[in-house]
Amino acid sequence: MHIEEAIRTRRSIGRVKQDPVDRNLIEKVLEAATWAPSHHNTQPWRFIVMTGDGRAKLGEGYARVALATLGAGESPELEERLRKERVKAYRSPVVIAVVCSPSADPRATLVEEIAASHTAVQNLLLAAHANGLGAIWRSGDPMYHPLMNDTFGLAENEKIVALVYMGYPDMTPPEPKRTPAAEKTTWLES
């Protein structure tokens, strides 16, 4: 698939089959992610790949954040809510937490390290699409919560910047509308 085709045809695929994805294919997609640009070539990303029972770690993170937000106590309603939070981790056969692990290089700035990590996510999404996989970049408050970082044992300076849910598509996404570049471009010329 040509790069422009991949860019124009990639969509967020929120519904995927539960069929396992071959580890070699996951590794191929991760390798593409590592070719993202980074200021001073710091390559500040790392990946936590969850498949099978490994997704329970993410489910526990969701539950811990929900419990901290909802408050302590025991009730059937709370237990049901925590069950629903844990189930979120199983929406696809593969979940990849993309972590920004900032470089110790004194020239590196946090905003550029996060931006570089986001470009790695874009490469990952494009490579998944080009290889017949569907993926969606999920985020939201639980992902940024300190308890989620703690669940994964992240260092104090590390941040999860994306949860990429990935598998074989089980939906046909609607055609998106895009504003033409000409409407968002200002030319400064002599």
Work out how many domains the chain is built from and give that number. 1
Structural domain includes residue 118: yes
* Per-residue tens of pLDDT for the chain, all 190 residues: 888 999 999 999 999 999 999 999 999 999 999 999 999 999 999 999 999 999 999 999 999 999 998 876 778 888 999 999 999 999 999 999 999 999 999 999 999 999 999 999 999 999 999 999 999 999 999 999 999 999 999 999 999 999 999 999 999 988 888 999 999 999 999 8
Q: Letter for the amino acid at 122? A: Q
Structural domain includes residue 182: no
Structural domain includes residue 133: yes
Contacts of 176 (CB under 8 A, 6+ apart): 11
Structural domain includes residue 123: yes
Structural domain includes residue 137: yes
Structural domain includes residue 20: yes
CA dihedral (25, 27, 32, 35) in degrees, to 10, reads: -170
Q: What is the CATH number of the domain that holds 156?
A: 3.40.109.10
Q: Phi first, then psi: what are they for 162, rounded to 5°?
A: -165, 145
Full domain range(s) for residue 101: 3-52+91-171
